[in-house]
Structure 1
Amino acid sequence: MSKSTFQKPIEIKISTVVAVSAILYTSDGIALDAALNEMTGGVPDFFEGDLAVIDVGSLAPGSERIDWASTIALLKKYRLNPVAVRNATPDMVEEIQAHGLSLDSGKREEPAPPAPAPAKAAAPASAAAPAAAPAVGAGGTMIIDTPVRAGQRIYARGGDLIVMAVVNNGAELIADGSIHVYNTLNGRALAGASGKTDARIFALSMAPELLSIAGVYSTFEDGFPAAHARQPTQIRLVGDRLDIQSVNSATRA
């Protein structure tokens, strides 16, 4: 086989993976099942196979020991795919690993300071639809000037993301800071990906499939709220819910 036609059997590349947090306040499987059923409204594909990190840091004192096999099966029943456990106590570790789950400390690496020379944009995770080369500012802001197509994922690590063109259905924007779309936002936008609760999402025309700030998210299968659909809109996190406001109004919707 000639060198020019040789293809490596495997290649490892850095990718950005977003997982939802399943925060347990009880280990009672019946209560968890009832809560998930109410949350999803019985819709079988509500989560669409999303990766999930099980967070046990908020379990009530004196909770019964977690039945990991049943808990994993329950999450999979609702099409969540558990991959790790966060805030596990030492006595949980062996059993967690025996069920093939990783341990997540919840700690994140601080982003490296920007180099004095212009940074080279990283390729998006999706190889099928590469992103246009973004401009990265000194403050860590990433700027995208071209449309973001279905299947593309753009991640602004450690800063804000600004998109000047349309974001199509099936596209995904991720930023550790805020997301600004000076056009129509049709796809998914996940701001505050590193846990920044004061991050916001802005769009001149808001029609998203999913919005998330610091892991709190909402989906819009039935369409974005009519009062703000296709309008200049901002999204912020208030407590444990996403708050929708007009960009031109300081009054909460």
Structure 2
Amino acid sequence: MQNSTTRKPIEIKISTVVAVAILLNESSIPALEAALKDMTAGSPDFFDDEFAVIDVDSISEQTLDWNALIPLFKAHGLNPVAVRNAREEDHAAIRAHGLSIDMVSKPRHEPEVAAAVPQAEKAAEAAPVVTPIAPVAPLAAEPQVIVRNMPAMVVDTPVRAGQRIYARGADLIITASVNNGAEVIADGSIHIYAPLRGRALAGATGNTEARIFALTMEPELVSIAGIYRTFENGFPPLQAHHPVQVKLNGDSIEVSSVKSTG
């Protein structure tokens, strides 16, 4: 009798793949190569074959050498899988390299309101101008701070080198250490009640209010909403015996001690 639970040759399921975004502000291959070398400090496994989406929005009118660009990224440990905001005339060349075209929906710009008809303008000019007395507006109330509650994913075991944990749509709470070569990612904030020695990326879908907390900070890289910071020159000196937090301050990463207010 045939087993009714026999698996099909192919099954399609919804899956989430985390990819870094490469924002290109320059089309010169030598300039990009120099920037990558400076970014990775010559480390061959800095990106560890990360999936990457190349965003060319800021140089959309410039011509890119795709035959040189894609091998350049692969040589530095980045694995491009798609291109965003590419010109339509470049689509064929991009697809020839096995990359997808990432379509981005941009907001529609409503047409400007048409000017009033000339007859109405003439009537308005002829009529006497009466300025109504506007009522006194009430004082603006204090802005309401809305705290967005997010579910949390809890990990109780050490995150070892080569492991990657992603808390999709949630905060990430880890009660053990995150070792060198490990990577933890969350759409919300990341809380580590142990040393952080690997890489931590909070606000992965663009949440600029996300933060990273750890009892001990010795990370390879931290990132909030795609803005990252590495520590090749050492970690900034902080008050001893205090947890550390990482947050965004404008467009830069700020690292500070979490001090008790009690």
Is this a same-fold pair by TM over 0.5?
Answer: yes
Aligned to 1:189: 200
TM-score, structure 1 length as denominator? 0.70
TM-score of the superposed pair, with normalisation by structure 2: 0.68
Q: Aligned runs of 1:163-242 on 2, under 5 Å?
A: 163=174, 165-169=175-179, 170-220=181-231, 224-227=235-238, 231-242=242-253
3-state DSSP of counterpart to 2:245: strand
Indicate yes or no: 2:50 matched with 1:50.
yes
Aligned residue for 2:58, secondary structure, equals: coil
1:240/1:3 CA distance change after superposition, 3 Å: same
How many angstroms apart in 2 are the aligned matches of 1:10 and 1:220?
44
* Partner of residue 119, structure 1: none
Counterpart of 1:99, as a letter, is: H
Q: Which runs of 5+ in 2 are unaligned?
A: 106-147
Give the corresponding residue for 2:173: 162
> Does the CA-based 8 Å contact 1:206-1:231 persist in structure 2?
no
1:98 is matched with: 96
1:27 aligns with 2:27: yes
**Counterpart of 2:72?**
74
Point out the structure with max Rg over C-alpha: 2
Secondary structure, aligned partner of 2:95 = helix
The answer to whether the 8 A contact 2:153-2:170 is kept is: no
Aligned length: 217
Gaps in structure 1 of 5+ consecutive residues: 108-137
State the superposition RMSD in angstroms.
3.4
Q: Give how far 1:231 is off.
A: 4.4
Post-superposition offset of 1:144: 1.1
**Do the aligned partners of 1:166 and 1:185 also contact (CA within 8 Å) in 2?**
no
CA deviation map 1:110-135 (0-9, x unaligned): xxxxxxxxxxxxxxxxxxxxxxxxxx
Q: Distance in 1 between matches of 2:240 and 2:246?
A: 12
**Retained in 1: the 8 A contact 2:238–2:257?**
no
Correspondence 1:244 to 2:240: no
Mapping 1:5-44, distance limit 5 Å: 14-44=14-44
CA 1:14/1:219 → structure 2, altered by over 3 Å: closer, same or farther?
farther
Encode CA deviations 1:70-110: one digit per residue, 9 max, x unaligned.
11011122222111111223222222112111122357xxx
In the TM superposition, what is the alpha-carbon distance from 1:162 to its structure 2 partner? 2.8
SS in 1 for 2:57: coil
Query: 1:136-183: per-residue Cα shift (whole Å, max 9, x none)?
Result: xx93321416224325543322232233x1133154322112112233
Amino acid at match of 1:74: L
Quickly say closer, same or farther: Cα 1:243–1:106, change in 2 above 3 A.
farther
| Structure 1 partner of 2:87 | 89
Aligned mates of 1:221, 1:14 — CA distance in 2? 38
CA distance in structure 2 between the partners assigned to 1:148 and 1:39 by the alignment: 28
One-letter identity of the residue aligned with 1:211: V
